[in-house]
Structure 1
Amino acid sequence: MTHPASAPLQGREAVFPAPEFERRLDALRVRLAETGAEALLVTGPENIFWCTGRQTAGYFAFQALVLPASGAPVLLVRELERMSALTGTWIGDIRLWGDGTDPAQALAGIVRQMGIARLAVDRRGWFVSAEMSEHIASALSGVTLLDGSGMVEALRMVKSAPELAAIRKAAGYAQAGLSAAIEACGAGVSENEVAAEMMAAAIRAGSEAMAMEPLVSSGPRSGVPHATWRRRIMAAGDGVFLELAASHDRYHAALMRSVWIGTPPAEVQAMMDCADRALEAALAAIRPGAPCAAPHAAAQAVIDGAGYTAAFRKRIGYSMGAAFAPDWGEGAILSLFDGVTQPLAPGMVFHLPATLRSYGEFTVGASETVIVTETGAEVLSDLPRGITIR
């Protein structure tokens, strides 16, 4: 419980005012009512953050939010995390479990004290192991457990004005980092030096902790997806792949660009030109009401038409928003890909990485983080997209 003496500390570090979270919880209660459950159990760090503003580097320890269909929510955290929960949220009822005690039993005690007989469970809380899930179910014996998966994610798809403001700031930090990284590239420079300049510039610009490390790879390593810095020294003729997602109040925006040390071969330039056209086609296909598959189809048509189908084996984009390590995106919520019929709507945010690869040799392309508007897409960077020659 929050003690009266702690009241002045309540919400002191909160990312948004209390009404923003009250609005979110009210919207979630509407969805909860449709299930017939008396409460929703949320355990994923991103979903708990969206509901409460709760954030900490200690989210590896078990935490849970119990949101009743009516009444005040209860937040359960490790005892060491009490102060971060108090200062970072507006939740008035914070319960604790101590090291050496059983958090599942603490959770069960809360549920029973609240008189909850039918509990919807967010089964996508991926920081809870299968073993812990079974332990929680056992501790909640006698309580009917319903599937509450996807309720929070459905509300996270469209961002509020405060969320969009945070993402725009994060985009500025990302551009500062990418600009510094591009400037740092050159023959004789190590990947580590470039990564250091990238991160330093983004952090100086305002970025907080990033939910995933930046990607910096050069030469043949740049043709390996998701490879990142490993002390390699760049040399003439190397391609360099650079990608970063910076954050503001846990909201992320990503940006990716390509560099070549010297003059790129004709095939490299042709692939880069194709990637740029594919990105432009995808951006042009973003409009409210269009299915999420439409931008991907537009990009894929350009790539297929140029004969580079084998060089592009992925979706053209994924949702962005609040993120915790190890992923900077919301790709598990919404993708721009074949078969995704969810309509695009104003306030949705996506990262569109248009990359073409000669696997194990090089990668070229560019990306943008965009906000869906009433008329199309708001691109959040103005960094040139072509290959930068260094």
Structure 2
Amino acid sequence: MALNFERSEYGERLTRVLAKMQEEKLDALLIFAQESMYWLTGYDTFGYCFFQTLVVKVDGTMALITRSADLRQARQTSVLDDIHIWVDRVNADPTADLRNLLVEMDLLGARIGVEYDTHGMTGRIARLLDSQLATFGQITDASYLVSRLRLIKSPTEIAYVERAAALADNALDAALALIAPDADEAEILAAMQGAIFAGGGDYPANEFTIGSGADALLCRYKTGRRKLDANDQLTLEWAGVYAHYHAAMMRTVVVGDPSHRHRELYSACRETIEAVETVLKPGHTFGDVFDMHARIMDERGLARHRFNACGHSVGARFSPSWMEHQMFHVGNTQEIEPNMSLFVHMIVMDSDSGTAMTLGHTYLTTTDAPRSLSRHSLDFLNR
């Protein structure tokens, strides 16, 4: 069996989940988010793109229902013993199998929480599930019960995030060694991902962002590669990943002679991220972080060019996104506590002048000032 944590840590996590379930008067929880399953039991797969559910009863009993392809996956990567298989067949409705399992677990008439807001729950599955459970018991949305508990990292989790951050730094080193006029984006991307794999890391939960020229203003991956011009701009967003734990970074590298606008936007990003560090600590909320970001950017006349979020929590995540639910956006009352791993990014995309600038890396919160997990400075990058 290959577990990334001691069994005792999984036991402590289950205790926290059960306490929260009791607080919310839940008899059972239906977990659909792969990261929740991984965090709670160690179960590691990409089979969540099909139907599967982890049932957790308030007495601590757990049962997984999944496909035959994931039976051995669950046995070898998790602490789970009770594993049920639904059969692939024409017009299969695995929610009927789940309903039967819930009956076997004596949950008829129970108050059951469901993780609806997750990539592991498609709209079709949600409709089938609601139909099956309409008269079964009292169903409630418990999408964030586990994800909120996951915000605070254990010492072992912090060690994994730190290893992920070191791999992210290695990826930046690999990129900077290649970035120059006529450099090929394909080679840069291959070097970054290769550095992470070579360091014992994993695939990221979403693709790295890489774009130069006009595409430097994009902050999502897209297909297609080009070679850098003598004067160019290259935006990179990537994450080091270890045991599925992510530490993200973001930079725009200027190739050749930086324009006045590049310098101006960099100055705004640097000033803002340093100001954000003053509120990225206990006593403040995620909303406070965004408000600081928005105030400085707007005072600089960049309201039209900034984004409506400036980062988010990171941790163990699965495709298609390494972004956690908790984001730095207006009105988010989530309190900042020690031992959170938080990705802060400044993104300014000036479509009027065609100028891009980004700056960001992952922090670990403490009882006071946050600690950057990157060995790289926030200095302007020019090649």
Q: State the TM-score, normalizing by the size of structure 2.
A: 0.94
Question: Residue 178 of structure 1 contacts residue 242 of structure 1 at CA under 8 Å; is this kept in 2?
Answer: no
User: 1:131, 1:143 → 2: CA distance?
Assistant: 19
Corresponding residue of 1:6:
none
Q: Return the offset for 1:221.
A: 0.9
1:1-390 paired onto structure 2 within 5 Å: 12-100=1-89, 102-117=93-108, 118=110, 119-140=112-133, 142-147=135-140, 148-228=142-222, 230-330=224-324, 332=325, 334-359=326-351, 361-390=354-383
Question: Residue 18 of structure 2 contacts residue 60 of structure 2 at CA under 8 Å; is this kept in 1?
Answer: no
One-letter code aligned to 1:70: D
One-letter code aligned to 1:267: R
Q: Secondary structure at the match of 1:188?
A: coil
Q: 1:141 to 1:356 in 2, by over 3 A?
A: closer
Count of residues paired in the alignment:
377
Question: Residue 314 of structure 2 contacts residue 342 of structure 2 at CA under 8 Å; is this kept in 1?
Answer: yes
Q: Secondary structure at the match of 2:272?
A: helix
User: 1:144, 1:315 → 2: CA distance?
Assistant: 38
Q: Return the offset for 1:99.
A: 2.1
Identity of aligned residues (%): 26
User: 1:13, 1:151 → 2: CA distance?
Assistant: 26
User: 1:210, 1:114 → 2: CA distance?
Assistant: 36
Q: Return the offset for 1:228.
A: 4.4
Q: 1:368 to 1:97 in 2, by over 3 A?
A: same
CA distances 1:135-173 after superposition (whole Å, capped 9, x unpaired): 223334542132123211221121121111111111111
Q: Secondary structure at the match of 1:184?
A: coil
User: 1:362, 1:230 → 2: CA distance?
Assistant: 20
Q: 1:356 to 1:71 in 2, by over 3 A?
A: closer
Moved over 4 A (4+): none
Q: 1:304 to 1:137 in 2, by over 3 A?
A: closer
Question: Residue 261 of structure 2 contacts residue 355 of structure 2 at CA under 8 Å; is this kept in 1?
Answer: no
Q: 1:388 to 1:149 in 2, by over 3 A?
A: closer
Corresponding residue of 1:4:
none
CA distances 1:308-350 after superposition (whole Å, capped 9, x unpaired): 22221221221111111110121x2x12222112221001121
Q: 1:163 to 1:189 in 2, by over 3 A?
A: same
Question: Residue 14 of structure 2 contacts residue 60 of structure 2 at CA under 8 Å; is this kept in 1?
Answer: no
User: 1:39, 1:87 → 2: CA distance?
Assistant: 25
Question: Residue 217 of structure 1 contacts residue 229 of structure 1 at CA under 8 Å; is this kept in 2?
Answer: no
Q: State the TM-score, normalizing by the size of structure 1.
A: 0.92
Higher mean alpha-carbon deviation, 284-293 vs 106-115, is at 284-293
Q: Return the offset for 1:108.
A: 1.3
Question: Residue 178 of structure 1 contacts residue 243 of structure 1 at CA under 8 Å; is this kept in 2?
Answer: no
Question: Residue 290 of structure 1 contacts residue 343 of structure 1 at CA under 8 Å; is this kept in 2?
Answer: yes
Q: Secondary structure at the match of 1:326?
A: coil
User: 2:64, 2:228 → 1: CA distance?
Assistant: 49
CA distances 1:276-330 after superposition (whole Å, capped 9, x unpaired): 1111111122121212222222222322232222221221221111111110121
Q: Secondary structure at the match of 2:262?
A: helix
Higher mean alpha-carbon deviation, 165-174 vs 133-142, is at 133-142
One-letter code aligned to 1:85: A
User: 1:116, 1:198 → 2: CA distance?
Assistant: 49
User: 2:300, 2:154 → 1: CA distance?
Assistant: 39
Question: Residue 212 of structure 1 contacts residue 245 of structure 1 at CA under 8 Å; is this kept in 2?
Answer: no
